[in-house]
Amino acid sequence: MNHLVEKAQTGDPKALNMLVQEWYGPIYQFAWKYFLSRVHTGDARHWAQEAAQKTFVQAIEALPRLKDTQKFRAWLYRIATNCCRQELRSLGRRPTQPMGNLPAAYVAELENGQSHSQGPEAQLQQEELSDMLRRAMNELPEDQRIVLIMKEYQGLKFREIAEALEISENTAKSRLYYAFKHLRKQVAIQELLINP
């Protein structure tokens, strides 16, 4: 990938196009998960597209100034995070009706890119668990939620997360630890409410 980034830095249109094709999907998914807990589901798609497009506009403009091509992924996620935050500020509102009104199975399918081929009982249990997890994620502070999305959904390494968010690796690990601690607590509470 470093070779592709280096070629794109020279303005090679084919290399730029290949970079955008390779990274648009992951950046869109990151932005979609970022907005999903803050706006209606349909709006999340719109704002994710806006943030992803702005990410690539800014990235293409700044790419010639990227000094270390091995840090491209972290650098791109830093730009995406900043674009998501800017778009959220432009919304001018706080979180509203998380996750929209779509069935949990549909949202889970969109999130994971999977279709459900399980039996009805297993699918219902999976929907309930997914719904509990999303509600718990909605309650996380933004700094913990972003680390969780980057690590668990996007597969970034702690080093990359630290670079993208301009924090230390230990801070990234700590935020993930507290995010998981909160999620375990919330899911346990939900399970107690469902199965007293």
Contact 42, 130 (CB under 8 A): no
Quote the pLDDT of residue 45: 86
Q: Based on the fold, state whether residues 7 and 74 are members of the same structural domain.
A: yes
> Tokens 């995070």 map to which residue?
81
Quote the pLDDT of residue 167: 96
Residues 6+ apart with CB under 8 A from 183: 133, 136, 137, 140
Q: What is the DSSP string of 13-32?
A: HHHHHHHHHHHHHHHHHHHH
pLDDT digits (tens, 9 = 90+) for 59-78: 999 999 999 999 999 999 99
Q: Based on the fold, state whether residues 126 and 88 are members of the same structural domain.
A: no
Distance CA 12, CA 6 (A): 9
Residue 8 domain boundaries:
1-94
Question: Looking at the domain assignment, is residue 107 inside a domain?
Answer: no
Q: Based on the fold, state whether residues 82 and 171 are members of the same structural domain.
A: no
Q: Based on the fold, state whether residues 86 and 133 are members of the same structural domain.
A: no
Q: Based on the fold, state whether residues 18 and 82 are members of the same structural domain.
A: yes
pLDDT of residue 101 exceeding 50, the answer is no
pLDDT digits (tens, 9 = 90+) for 129-158: 666 777 778 788 999 999 999 999 899 999
Split into its structural domains, the chain has a count of 2
Question: Looking at the domain assignment, is residue 140 inside a domain?
Answer: yes
CATH code for the domain of 37: 1.10.1740.10
Contact 77, 83 (CB under 8 A): no
The model's pTM is 0.75
Distance CA 56, CA 161 (A): 19
What does DSSP assign to residue 64? G
Q: Based on the fold, state whether residues 60 and 148 are members of the same structural domain.
A: no
pLDDT band at 103 (very low <50, low <70, confident <90, very high): very low
Give the chain's count of helices (H) and strands (E): 9, 0
